[in-house]
Amino acid sequence: MSEEVRFETTGVLDEAFFKENAKYLLSPKFHQRRMILAALITVFLLAEAIWFSMPSLLVILAIYWITFYPMTLWAQRRAAKTLTKRQYETYPDGRCEIGTSCVEAGVRSENRTAGGSVVVSYEHLSTLAMADHAYILMSKANQLVVFFTDELTEEERNALREHLMEKCPKLKIIR
């Protein structure tokens, strides 16, 4: 007896894919922790500046906030670079063809370049990033599963998103 396969897509993971989707490669927890840290630093420096009447601490706070966004961009580029290096370590040409589909047990990802497949259970999926040419699913342990949406019609994309939201009610969506 064969299992029902839905929303089957194929595509290539390579350096261009990782560069194009760098902003989706960092987990939402990473961004949440950065914001908590930023809030704590801001409160601490403001309290110190007021308590000790040291306006120079406000300059340090301003410098911190000026560098906050560029540091986030740097972290995104670094994540893309790390994934690209991993890709070149595994595949000499730095690219692999991936087939992805939904099955009853979860989302199945097949490595068509080297062989093998894995099924990530729906309960382990935490984030859906809706990129221009792909839906990037992240597991709770930051494992990536990619649906290449260029092969899907608009109705199929919406149906895939609704299917994933139905199977994973706590799924966070990033646009």
Query: Nearest-CA neighbor of 51 among 39, 61, 43, 40?
Result: 43
Q: What is the pLDDT of residue 83?
A: 85
Domain 6-13+94-174 of CATH type 3.40.50.2000: no
**Contacts with 124 (C-beta within 8 Å, 6 or more apart), sequence order:** 106, 139, 140, 141
How does pLDDT run across 77-130, given as a tens digit for each residue? 898 898 888 888 888 888 899 999 999 989 999 999 888 899 999 999 998 999
Residue 62 banded pLDDT, cuts 50, 70, 90: very high
The pLDDT tens digits for 118-135 are: 999 999 999 899 988 999
User: pTM of the entire structure?
Assistant: 0.77
Phi–psi pair at 90, nearest 5 degrees = -90, -40
- 32 close to 40: Cβ distance less than 8 angstroms: no
Give Cα 105 distance to the centre of its chain: 22
Span 1-56, pLDDT tens digits: 457 888 899 999 888 888 888 888 877 788 888 899 999 999 999 999 888 888 88
CA 16 to chain centre: 15
- Confidence band (pLDDT; 50, 70, 90) for 174? confident
Side chain identity, residue 141: A
- Write down the domain spans for the chain: 6-13+94-174, 24-90
